[in-house]
C-alpha cells in the first residue's frame, strides 16, 4: 500500500512510489546562520534528503532565507501557532511548510493553504498526540489523530489545495501504527512517519523502529524521521539503517562492529568514525567490520568485504579472513581508500 499521490518537496519526490526519503531537523539556534548552515551541511553529508527548521519568530526568517539560498537539499519551515510566520517562510522560498492544525486557527490555516497554493509548494499537516485540535469526537487516540487529519483535509479541499503530506504521530508505537494504518486505508496522500517525543537513545531508537518497521513493511510511509533527543545526524543514520536493513533502499556502507569486551586492544570509536568519514565517497555496497582484538576479530570479520582489527597499537586490515596489511591509526583513511579501490 503505497501512497498513490506524489508530492514534490523541492527536488525530492514524496509518495506515488518514489523512494522513501529520510529527513531530520536542525537542532541549533535558528537565529544563528553560521551554526545552522554547518549543521545542515553535516546532515546533507550523512544522507539527509529533506531538512526542517523551526521558525519560532520573525527574527529567524533571515536565517531561513539564507539557508534556502545555500542549501542543496530542500528546506522545510516548521511553524506553530502563527500563520504570519508560515507566510514569511513561503516568501523566503522554503520547499514545504509544516503546520500543526492543533495549534493554528482555522482562518490561519486557510491563509497558509492559500499562500502555499500560490507559491506552488506542498504543505504537511503534522498531527501530534500532545497537541490535537479541540473538539475531536473519536474515542481513541488513533481515531483522534485521523479525525484531526481529516478535518484539515476537508479545509484544504475547500481551498482547492491538494499538495498535502500528512503525519499522525503519537509517542507510543502502537497508537502511531494504528493511526497511520487507518489513514492509509482511507486516503492516498503521502505519509511522513515517525514517533513524536520518541525519547533519548537507546529507547527512543527502539520505539521508533518498533513503530516504523511494521508500517514500512505494509507499504505505509513515504518519508520518515526518527526523532530522537540526540544529534540530528544520529536520526539520519538510524533512518538509513532501518531502510537499508529492510531492503527498502540499496545499502552502501554497512558497518558492523564487535560489542567490545575485556580483550579490546584500543577504543573502536576512532576506527568507526574513520570508516564513516568515507561514507559519502562509497558508491558500491560495502560491508566493513571493525573489531577490537585479533582473538575473535578475523573470524567474525571474514564475512565482511573488509575487516579492521586492533592488533596491539596497530590496525590490521583483513580481507576474506586473511591479514593483508597493518597500518598506523594516522594512515588508516588513506589505506582504507586504497583497499576499497582494490576490491573486486
Instruction: Pick one of 258, 271, 290, 336: the residue that binds ligand SF4 (CB under 6 A).
Output: 258
CB 326 to ligand SF4: min, Å: 17
251 binds ligand SF4 (CB under 6 A): no
307 binds ligand SF4 (CB under 6 A): no
CA 165, distance to chain mean position in Å, is 16
Q: Which of 9, 33, 17, 23 is nearest to 240 (CA)?
A: 23
266 binds ligand SF4 (CB under 6 A): no
264 binds ligand SF4 (CB under 6 A): yes
Please, where are the H alpha helices in the chain?
Answer: 33-45, 61-70, 83-91, 106-119, 141-159, 173-186, 203-217, 232-245, 269-278, 297-301, 332-342
Instruction: Pick one of 4, 217, 261, 303: the residue that binds ligand SF4 (CB under 6 A).
Output: 261
Instruction: Please list, in sequence order, all residues whose beta carbon lies within 8 angstroms of the beta carbon of residue 192, skipping any fewer than 6 positions away.
Output: 14, 23, 124, 126, 165, 166, 167, 221, 222, 223, 224, 225
Q: Kindly tell me the sign of the dihedral angle through the C-alpha atoms of 119, 191, 151, 134.
A: negative
Q: Which of 165, 111, 158, 101 is nearest to 134 (CA)?
A: 101
CB 121 to ligand SF4: min, Å: 49
Q: Name the segment binding ligand SF4 (CB under 6 A); options: 87-95, 105-113, 149-157, 259-267.
A: 259-267
Instruction: Pick one of 205, 211, 236, 291: the residue that binds ligand SF4 (CB under 6 A).
Output: 291
287 binds ligand SF4 (CB under 6 A): no
Instruction: Pick one of 35, 251, 260, 326: the residue that binds ligand SF4 (CB under 6 A).
Output: 260
Instruction: Pick one of 156, 271, 274, 293: the residue that binds ligand SF4 (CB under 6 A).
Output: 293
Residue 71 and residue 51 in contact, taking contact as beta carbons nearer than 8 Å: yes
Give the interface with ligand SF4 as residue ranges (CB under 6 A). 258-261, 263-264, 291-293, 295-297, 300
Amino acid at each position: 500500500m503505497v501512497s498513490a499521490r506524489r508530492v514534490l518537496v523541492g527536488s525530492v519526490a514524496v509518495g506515488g512510489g518514489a523512494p522513501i526519503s529520510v529527513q531530520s531537523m536542525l537542532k541549533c539556534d535558528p537565529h544563528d546562520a553560521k551554526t545552522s548552515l554547518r549543521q545542515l551541511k553535516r546532515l546533507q553529508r550523512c544522507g539527509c534528503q529533506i531538512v526542517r527548521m523551526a521558525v519560532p519568530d520573525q527574527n529567524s526568517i533571515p536565517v531561513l532565507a539564507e539557508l534556502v539560498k545555500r542549501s542543496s537539499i530542500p528546506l522545510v519551515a516548521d511553524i506553530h501557532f502563527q500563520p504570519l510566520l508560515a507566510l514569511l517562510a513561503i516568501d523566503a522560498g522554503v520547499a514545504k511548510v509544516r503546520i500543526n492544525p492543533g495549534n493554528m486557527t482555522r482562518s490561519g490555516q486557510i491563509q497558509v493553504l492559500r499562500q502555499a497554493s500560490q507559491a506552488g509548494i506542498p504543505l504537511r499537516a503534522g498531527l501530534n498526540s500532545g497537541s490535537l485540535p479541540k473538539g475531536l469526537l473519536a474515542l481513541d487516540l488513533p481515531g483522534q489523530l485521523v479525525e484531526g487529519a481529516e478535518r484539515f483535509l476537508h479545509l484544504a479541499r475547500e481551498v482547492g489545495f491538494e499538495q498535502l503530506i500528512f503525519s499522525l504521530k503519537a509517542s507510543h508505537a502502537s497508537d502511531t501504527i494504528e493511526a497511520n494504518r487507518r489513514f492509509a486505508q482511507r486516503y492516498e496522500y503521502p505519509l511522513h512517519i515517525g514517533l513524536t517525543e520518541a525519547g533519548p537513545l537507546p529507547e527512543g531508537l527502539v520505539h521508533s523502529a518498533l513503530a516504523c518497521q511494521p508500517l514500512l513493511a505494509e507499504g505505509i510511509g513515504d518519508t520518515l524521521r526518527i526523532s530522537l533527543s540526540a544529534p540530528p545526524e544520529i536520526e539520519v543514520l538510524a533512518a538509513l539503517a532501518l531502510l537499508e536493513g529492510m531492503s527498502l533502499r540499496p545499502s552502501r556502507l554497512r558497518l558492523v562492529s564487535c560489542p567490545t569486551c575485556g580483550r579490546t586492544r584500543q577504543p573502536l570509536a576512532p576506527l568507526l568514525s574513520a570508516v564513516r568519514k568515507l561514507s559519502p565517497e562509497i558508491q558500491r555496497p560495502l560491508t566493513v567490520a571493525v573489531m577490537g582484538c585479533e582473538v575473535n576479530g578475523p573470524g567474525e570479520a571474514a564475512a565482511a568485504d573488509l575487516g579492521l582489527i586492533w592488533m596491539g597499537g596497530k590496525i590490521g586490515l583483513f580481507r576474506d579472513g586473511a591479514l593483508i596489511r597493518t597500518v598506523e591509526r594516522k594512515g588508516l583513511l588513506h589505506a582504507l581508500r586504497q583497499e576499497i579501490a582494490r576490491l573486486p
